[in-house]
Every structure is written in structure tokens, then in C-alpha cells.
Amino acid sequence: MGNTTSPILPGATVVVNDLTSIYNGYKGFVQRISDERAAVLFEGGNWDKLVTIPLEDLEVA
């Protein structure tokens, strides 16, 4: 069998898994995907942040 993980698609909830990133462990929503990167929206209290992150550093929550 092939890859058993869920694909990352727009609208998916993902967690950042990159020890060198300040967003490591943050949970966000995929807004769009371009090339090998995803635009992830992080919301927290009184702030929202849209960050582009490589797909290899994301996992489906």
C-alpha cells in the first residue's frame, strides 16, 4: 500500500512540525496550496496570521 496519511488540501486543519520554526506545534487552517507550500491561517485571540509553510513541515491534525 502507498501513503496512508491524509492528503493536505485547502480547508484542512494542520499542525506545524518543524523544530526550527517559531510556529512549531501551532494548529491552523490551510487556505491555499501553491507548488510545495501551503498558506496556513493561524487564529489566536485578537490576532490572525497567514504564513506560507512547506508542505513537508505540516501534518494533518
Here the CATH number for the domain that contains residue 51 is: 2.30.30.140
pLDDT computed for residue 19 by the predictor: 96
Q: Is 28 within the bounds of a domain?
A: yes
Structural domain harbouring 47 = 13-60
Q: Is 5 within the bounds of a domain?
A: no
Helix, strand, coil shares, percent, the chain, to 5 = 5, 50, 45
Q: Is 6 within the bounds of a domain?
A: no
pLDDT computed for residue 4 by the predictor: 53
Contact 10, 30 (CB under 8 A): yes
What's the total number of domains in the chain?
1
Q: What is the dihedral of CA 35, 11, 9, 5, to 10 degrees?
A: 130
* Cα–Cα distance, 19 to 30 (Å, whole number): 20
Q: Is 2 within the bounds of a domain?
A: no
- Encode pLDDT of 6-60 as tens digits: 789 999 999 999 999 999 999 999 999 999 999 999 998 888 999 999 999 999 9
Q: Is 17 within the bounds of a domain?
A: yes
Q: Is 1 within the bounds of a domain?
A: no
pLDDT computed for residue 1 by the predictor: 44
pLDDT computed for residue 2 by the predictor: 47
* Cα–Cα distance, 6 to 61 (Å, whole number): 10
